[in-house]
Structure 1
Amino acid sequence: MLPAPANLATLSSALFDPLGIGRDAFHYWLDTIERSVLYLDVMRERGNQYLEHMEQTKPNVLGFDAEVLMDGRDLPRPVNYELMRILPPAGVEIDPDGRPFVVVDPRAGHGPGIGGFKPDSELGVALRAGHPCYFIGFLPFPVPGQTVEDVVDAEIAFLREVIARHPDTAERPMVVGNCQAGWQIMMAAALEPDCFGPILIAGAPLSYWAGERGGAPMRYTGGLLGGSWMTALAGDLGAGLFDGAWLVQNFEKLNPANTLWTKQYRLFANIDSEAQRYLQFERWWGGHVVLGAEEIQYIVDNLFIGNRLSTSQLSTRDGRRIDLRNIRSPIVVFCSQGDDITPPPQALGWVRDLYADVDDIQANEQTIVYCVHDSTGHLGIFVSGSVSRKEHAEFTANMDYIDVLPPGLYETTVIETAARDEDAVHIDGDYLLEFVPRELGDLDEIVRPSEEDDRRFATVARVSDINLGVYQMLVQPWLQALMTPSAARWIRRMHPIRLGYKLFSDRNPLMVPVPVMAEWVKADRHATNADNPWRVLEGIVSHQIAQSLDAYRELRDQASERLFLGIYGQPWLQTMVGLGAGNEPLRRRPGIEPDHRRFVENRKTELCSRIDKGSYHEAVMRSLIYVLGGAPATDERNFQRLKATRAEVEPSIDLAAFKALVRDQFFILKLDRQAALDALPTLLEGQSNAQIDEHLAHIEHVLDASGPLSEHSRERLSVIKAAFDQARPPASARTEARRPS
């Protein structure tokens, strides 16, 4: 941000006042000295906080009281995860029969608890909505020998426990996975789809090769390092443990201006008001944990470099295939254009990897909803108060609506409802969630697929396998024999990030006078005015430093991209690793394989045989879907009306059966629309005139929720009315029915 013109004017006018500028210089000098002392004291508190946090057996920054229900270390294959029940804060009422809400904490090097870090976090939103809430967290050290598969199986066991605790709740838990936890719960849902209700993945990478030129610099890291052998080296230096500080350091390198200057200068410039916010964040960001060497190797080889999750190439040790098409729950993907760790192409590219078109998504009975935020950063996706009060609040309030959306691909937008007060009774909160059907072509505008880049990343995967094999044969046995746990602990403690915390703590004798000096300063603080010309000049210099670091970042990222594209775009290298012209496709596309096509055809045949099977339930739902299919978008008001009247009109159908009804009727209309409409009178056989009138009134009542119908939708409604009229009993039959017996 450029310096404000008013500040520049203040600086210019000060130059013509020698006495004033001298006085301002003294005040600025005194303020700077005091701010420096207070800044050092905050750094000291940060270091002490870090050491205290790391010495805890179960460090956590969870902002809610919780009780442990299951300890993953007690499972048949133990892991360092645990299931906790969130205790509602005072004044918050929980509906024990409501749909459970489960947040899975991301484990990517930093400390545990970010999923419930703030009152406005995802957990806070769900608690205020009255949902029973649970949290799946982790401990700082893995159980020896635990694997990614063990963690996934543990999460499935935890969800079964949650379901068992709510026997009267028909709906399965809504599960939220942030960042790394997102792909973890997607793997779990692919293996055990019956344990999951709607799934929300926020800032979660699932397609690791995806990204557009000029962005997503992290996707080039594996290739520039020669593959995953560096990961194996780090694990061996840790005596079987991988220091999460390396992952945090990689995140910080993405934005050197913020890491090296802006974050610290913001604290220094606003030391009287910024200290608590800074320390609160650093308590989580600096709580580095470790991962098992086997875990991180699996992640890097199969996900980051291999990109095998989004193409169904992963299998468990007991032969279960991890195919994301097995997920039967609606999937909500929340990402942001401002996220440089998980940009939208990496969050959404898996849809294009798995499916040939939207018909393929629908044949697999999947509902995929995506929301792309304009600007928030990676952490802001799941900890920002403004995001939680808007997007997360709407996702939570409308999970039942999302749960019954017909299969397909949708983009959702959150709009304010101030101009729609007449519909407020049908809207939860201050915003309206609207869903627009999309095609894969619309998604391609975000994902920006590139066959040339795919070939480069496939080359990286082959090179990585070769380099890893050489390392494992020539270096790893010697290093594993030499490294001891004590040496590994010493190496972790000397990591630059960890060392920085310790050097500014009370364990450093040079910091002894700092708290005393800070108390003196606080007792007689001499803060200068914001319009002090020297303070204005300081801000200008700070701005220039940040801009210089941003320029360095852009040059570095551009050079890295050019180097990557140049090396792995060489035809001779691609040929050397077996990717020459005429070989198999670069990546598996499950959606176009013959066995999948046979599945789709069998599914169509099965549904076609049920076109004229059913009752008035099927007729009403088929009619609603047909008319709404003529609208360009749908929103929560339709569902709120339908939910409000369902208990009166269709009391025998619970939400699970209602969801199945919606899906089946959607498919039937998709397969053979005319036959589906012609079958409506058959489905209504035996209904009286009064009952048919009641069904039509119910349909119109639901359709009115979104305001006036379009011309196309009105035409479709007239077709439905005509079909219902055909089902009315003949006049003679009605007379006969009225005649006393």
Structure 2
Amino acid sequence: MNFLANPLLASTPGGDALASMMDPFGFGRAAVNYWRDSVERNILYWDVMRERGNQYLEHMEQTKPNVLGFETEVLVDGRTLPNPTNYELLRVLPPKNTQIDPQKRPFVVVDPRAGHGPGIGGFKPDSELGVALKAGHPCYFIGFLPFPEPGQTVEDVVEAEVAFLRHVIALHPETTEKPMVVGNCQAGWQIMMAAALEPDVFGPILIAGAPLSYWAGEHGKAPMRYTGGMTGGSWVTAMTTDIGNGLFDGAWLVQNFERLNPANTYWKKQYHLYDNVDTETKRYLEFERWWGGHVVLGGEEIQYIVDNLFVGNRLSTAQLVTRDGRRIDLRNVRSPVVVFCSRGDDITPPPQALGWIRDLYEGEEDIVANEQTIIYCQHDTTGHLGIFVSGSVSRKEHSEFTANMDYIDVMPPGLYETTISHADEHPDAELIERDYLLEFTPRNFEELDRDVMHKPEDDRRFATVARISEINLGLYRLYIQPWLHATMTPEAARWIRRMHPIRLGYKLMSDRNPLTVPLPVMADYVRRHRKPVDQDNMFKALESMASDQIVASLDAWRDLRDSSTERLFMDVYGQPLLQAAVGLYGDAHVHRRRPGAEPEHRRFIENRQNELRHKIAQGGHHEAVMRSVIYVLGGAPATDERNFKRLRASRAELEPGTPLSEFKRLVREQFFILKLDREQALGSLPTLLKGQSNDDIDGYLKHLEHVFAASGELSAHAAERFDQVKALFDKARPNVVAPPAPEAASTPAAKAPVPALTAEKSATVSAKSAGESAPKASEAAPTPPEKKPASRSSGQRRSTPRKR
């Protein structure tokens, strides 16, 4: 075997032939090559682990560690606010050759604080911040420091985020558009709380992978929702905080995430580095710098989160009240909300990301009545971190959301699902400006329920967990907490944090361990003489097969663990005796508050409808044009982004100086009016156009044609609706004969011009729109005594039904 491995002999004349004679099947050579490669990969792998440990220690010793890939400057330090917090508002400085347009809407990313350090939203060039910077938006980042301020609460953090947004708005007086705010994971529910309390400082809101409804979930998935029940409630959180002397170590949260996928944590992630150690080192170390940057949370903060959100599910049911008496009701959010989630996310699956909609509203008409626009997008495969870290996701979904934020901001109230398709998939691809097209589809609650999969019988189980949690927490605070408060010291708490298994793993493999001294020397020698094995080596193939078997075994163990946990949870908390013991057994008891079904909310809906009924016939040509657009397109101002861009451009021509906020109000109000009473809304179009000239009406119809042509040909049904709108507009044309002059009263030539549309033609148009509330022939303008041929305007040309 040594002879076969000797490179000098193999390179001499006849060396290959001699090697082949001694090892005709190549097993020995394959074994030696694999053995050498595996030894080299082992040395390089452990040297990467040493670098990871050094990187961790260096990162944790920084005063303000983060993993942002962009240069920043601090604008507001949260520690200087009236209620100090460890949060900061940063201005993101654009890279070279990147131009920022100060007239564009500001873009703010709020980072999640769930155990890891800040910066994940701007981790890569192809990130949420990177996409917005490329689009020319002024960008800001709300991050945090490793340790909380004394006495810091969740409400303090929410108030700090509102103060930061007000500061951003003050920095851009030249634009009337409010900032678009992106909240990743835990930051999602924080900004939703802030938007419910102070809706006037928010533009469109994008929440990515943010859990808002913690009781929701599909059986067989989302194992984290059972954690509170299996530990007996939030007393464990209180004990962990007391062991930390009032501080909660975020490493415990990271450990919970790692336990979800043991195959990836204990094998797949590490083996991928070992298998590709020549190319994966940089990517691995970049990710580990964030994954291992553990931060600390205040005890009061984490207890509030666990009691009110994880276990109590009080955010999505409007049960949270601030210390100054304000109710945190997500129905108060006035900005459009985009919910981005993934079916491949086991931390925040779609039911938990979307369930709050089902909790707060009884139907899509409630969303409309509250003048809210909710849009959701579901990725098929990406995991939790991939939602806001993956470069492919940022280049596609986040790029489209950023490019269309103005369009999203004027979407009428309702529930929509958005899909993103490649431009090449459309026959009119030349009309699409970018590589992808963002399209919106109205959804109802029956369709939403297929994703939320709400089960009322589970509500009683989780309500039982909440009661048990309150009981156990009370017992802990009565009997155990005083002893821990008396014995724990700051020094002991710091020592316990340093000894956490996850933290300790980083420190043991660093230069502070004398056993790692030979590693850099050995790794340098290997890199200079590296001879990787061929991929077709049989022993390398066996290694890959063994790795796959280990992954499959760990996955099987995880599935068995999760299914057993779910079955135990369902059996224990589904026991009628336990439910009766905590006062939750019986159909008459309300286990889950449903704000949308409460009497005061139904009265609000009724009052809102009565208020809008009085506005149906009020307004002018602005209302008439927008009402027509929404009607023809079937309930939305555009089927996709192209219609909106044409609509906004032509709006600037017809209505110069009208701010976007007024345009947004107009869209939403006219949509609501059509939803409330379509027949009366259409019948009042001639009233809204009263007093307009023929030229004005022709201009409005031309405007509508441009809008509808932006996304290709209208469908046959939409074309019929457009014909009906034309007939209603023509009905509003002036039809009054001017009084003759005294000296020429009997002269036919002195008659006033005849209107462009006759009763006969109006009846023809109405007949083409059968089934709609078009004006009948008897309602058309009367035929004058004498009629002159009139020039055909755009309002008189009848559109032939076209197929999409």
Q: So what's the TM-score if we normalise by structure 2?
A: 0.89
Which residue pairs with 1:684 in the alignment? Answer: 689
Question: Percent sequence identity over matched residues?
Answer: 71
Displacement of 1:428 in angstroms is: 4.1
Change (3 A) 1:424 1:77: farther
Please, which of 355, 379, 384 is the counterpart of residue 373 of structure 1? 379
Displacement of 1:632 in angstroms is: 12
Find the residue that maps to 1:67 and give its secondary structure: strand
Which residue pairs with 1:280 in the alignment? Answer: 286
Q: Is the 8 A contact 2:131 2:395 kept in 1?
A: yes
In the alignment, the residues of structure 2 paired with residue 384 and residue 246 of structure 1 have an alpha-carbon distance, to the nearest angstrom, of: 25
In the alignment, the residues of structure 1 paired with residue 130 and residue 79 of structure 2 have an alpha-carbon distance, to the nearest angstrom, of: 28
Which residue pairs with 2:441 in the alignment? Answer: 436
Displacement of 1:583 in angstroms is: 3.9
Find the residue that maps to 1:706 and give its secondary structure: coil
In the alignment, the residues of structure 2 paired with residue 81 and residue 733 of structure 1 have an alpha-carbon distance, to the nearest angstrom, of: 72
Amino acid at match of 2:530: R
**What is the correspondence of 1:621-700 to structure 2 with a 5 Å cutoff?**
621-629=626-634, 634-700=639-705
In the alignment, the residues of structure 1 paired with residue 186 and residue 622 of structure 2 have an alpha-carbon distance, to the nearest angstrom, of: 42
In the alignment, the residues of structure 2 paired with residue 527 and residue 519 of structure 1 have an alpha-carbon distance, to the nearest angstrom, of: 15
Displacement of 1:731 in angstroms is: 5.1
Deviations 1:536-588 (A, max 9, x none): 11111111101100110010001100110110010000000110104431111
Please, which of 589, 592, 598 is the counterpart of residue 597 of structure 2? 592
Kindly report structure 1 stretches of 4+ aligned residues shifted beyond 3 Å: 16-19, 419-425, 630-633, 733-739
Find the residue that maps to 1:27 and give its secondary structure: helix
Amino acid at match of 1:644: A
Amino acid at match of 1:164: A
In the alignment, the residues of structure 1 paired with residue 598 and residue 454 of structure 2 have an alpha-carbon distance, to the nearest angstrom, of: 20
Which residue pairs with 1:36 in the alignment? Answer: 42
Structure 1 residue 22 and structure 2 residue 28: aligned?
yes
Which residue pairs with 2:400 in the alignment? Answer: 394
Displacement of 1:461 in angstroms is: 0.3
Please, which of 468, 473, 478 is the counterpart of residue 473 of structure 2? 468
Which residue pairs with 2:507 in the alignment? Answer: 502
**What is the correspondence of 1:347-358 to structure 2 with a 5 Å cutoff?**
347-358=353-364
Which residue pairs with 1:562 in the alignment? Answer: 567
Q: Is the 8 A contact 2:630 2:636 kept in 1?
A: no
**What is the correspondence of 1:82-231 to structure 2 with a 5 Å cutoff?**
82-231=88-237
Find the residue that maps to 2:63 and give its secondary structure: coil
Find the residue that maps to 2:376 and give its secondary structure: strand
Give unpaired runs (5+ residues) of structure 2: 1-19, 740-749, 755-804
Which residue pairs with 1:300 in the alignment? Answer: 306
Change (3 A) 1:76 1:669: same
Which residue pairs with 1:314 in the alignment? Answer: 320
Displacement of 1:738 in angstroms is: 7.6
Change (3 A) 1:702 1:17: farther
Change (3 A) 1:666 1:571: same
Find the residue that maps to 2:593 and give its secondary structure: coil
Please, which of 223, 226, 243 is the counterpart of residue 237 of structure 1? 243
Change (3 A) 1:592 1:630: closer
Please, which of 585, 600, 604 is the counterpart of residue 609 of structure 2? 604
Amino acid at match of 1:182: G
Q: So what's the TM-score if we normalise by structure 1?
A: 0.96
Amino acid at match of 1:659: K
Displacement of 1:631 in angstroms is: 8.5
In the alignment, the residues of structure 2 paired with residue 345 and residue 386 of structure 1 have an alpha-carbon distance, to the nearest angstrom, of: 24
Amino acid at match of 2:115: G
Structure 1 residue 289 and structure 2 residue 295: aligned?
yes
In the alignment, the residues of structure 1 paired with residue 335 and residue 374 of structure 2 have an alpha-carbon distance, to the nearest angstrom, of: 9
In the alignment, the residues of structure 1 paired with residue 430 and residue 60 of structure 2 have an alpha-carbon distance, to the nearest angstrom, of: 49
Find the residue that maps to 1:273 and give its secondary structure: coil
Find the residue that maps to 2:270 and give its secondary structure: helix
In the alignment, the residues of structure 1 paired with residue 223 and residue 176 of structure 2 have an alpha-carbon distance, to the nearest angstrom, of: 44
Displacement of 1:630 in angstroms is: 6.8
In the alignment, the residues of structure 1 paired with residue 614 and residue 736 of structure 2 have an alpha-carbon distance, to the nearest angstrom, of: 32
Amino acid at match of 2:561: R
Q: Is the 8 A contact 2:428 2:712 kept in 1?
A: no
Change (3 A) 1:733 1:163: farther
Structure 1 residue 403 and structure 2 residue 421: aligned?
no
In the alignment, the residues of structure 1 paired with residue 429 and residue 642 of structure 2 have an alpha-carbon distance, to the nearest angstrom, of: 8
Change (3 A) 1:357 1:28: same
Larger radius of gyration: 2
In the alignment, the residues of structure 1 paired with residue 719 and residue 680 of structure 2 have an alpha-carbon distance, to the nearest angstrom, of: 20
Find the residue that maps to 1:334 and give its secondary structure: strand
- Report which structure shows greater RCO (CA 8 Å, sep ≥6): 1
Change (3 A) 1:190 1:599: same
**What is the correspondence of 1:530-541 to structure 2 with a 5 Å cutoff?**
530-541=535-546
Change (3 A) 1:280 1:721: same
Displacement of 1:19 in angstroms is: 5.1
Displacement of 1:736 in angstroms is: 7.4
Which residue pairs with 2:747 in the alignment? Answer: none
Which residue pairs with 1:333 in the alignment? Answer: 339
In the alignment, the residues of structure 2 paired with residue 74 and residue 528 of structure 1 have an alpha-carbon distance, to the nearest angstrom, of: 58
Displacement of 1:477 in angstroms is: 1.3
Displacement of 1:519 in angstroms is: 1.1
Which residue pairs with 2:82 in the alignment? Answer: 76
Report how many residues are paired. 724
Which residue pairs with 1:732 in the alignment? Answer: 737
Structure 1 residue 571 and structure 2 residue 584: aligned?
no
Deviations 1:398-446 (A, max 9, x none): 1111111110000000011114474544x34211111000001111001
In the alignment, the residues of structure 1 paired with residue 486 and residue 231 of structure 2 have an alpha-carbon distance, to the nearest angstrom, of: 25
Which residue pairs with 2:759 in the alignment? Answer: none
Change (3 A) 1:412 1:733: farther
In the alignment, the residues of structure 2 paired with residue 667 and residue 643 of structure 1 have an alpha-carbon distance, to the nearest angstrom, of: 20
In the alignment, the residues of structure 2 paired with residue 120 and residue 67 of structure 1 have an alpha-carbon distance, to the nearest angstrom, of: 21
Q: Comparing 526-535 with 229-238, which one deviates more in the overlay? A: 526-535
Amino acid at match of 1:68: V
Please, which of 475, 488, 491 is the counterpart of residue 493 of structure 2? 488
Which residue pairs with 1:11 in the alignment? Answer: none
Q: Is the 8 A contact 2:112 2:184 kept in 1?
A: yes
In the alignment, the residues of structure 1 paired with residue 751 and residue 84 of structure 2 have an alpha-carbon distance, to the nearest angstrom, of: 73
Which residue pairs with 1:8 in the alignment? Answer: none
Amino acid at match of 1:642: L
Amino acid at match of 2:375: V
Give unpaired runs (5+ residues) of structure 1: 1-13
In the alignment, the residues of structure 2 paired with residue 737 and residue 638 of structure 1 have an alpha-carbon distance, to the nearest angstrom, of: 39
In the alignment, the residues of structure 2 paired with residue 652 and residue 72 of structure 1 have an alpha-carbon distance, to the nearest angstrom, of: 38
In the alignment, the residues of structure 2 paired with residue 574 and residue 76 of structure 1 have an alpha-carbon distance, to the nearest angstrom, of: 44
Find the residue that maps to 1:434 and give its secondary structure: strand
In the alignment, the residues of structure 2 paired with residue 359 and residue 595 of structure 1 have an alpha-carbon distance, to the nearest angstrom, of: 16
Displacement of 1:136 in angstroms is: 0.2
Which residue pairs with 1:45 in the alignment? Answer: 51
Deviations 1:444-482 (A, max 9, x none): 001111111111001000000000000011111110121
Deviations 1:47-102 (A, max 9, x none): 00000000000001001001000000000000000000000000111100110000
Deviations 1:239-268 (A, max 9, x none): 010000000000010000000000000001
Amino acid at match of 2:181: V
Deviations 1:20-40 (A, max 9, x none): 111111111111111111111
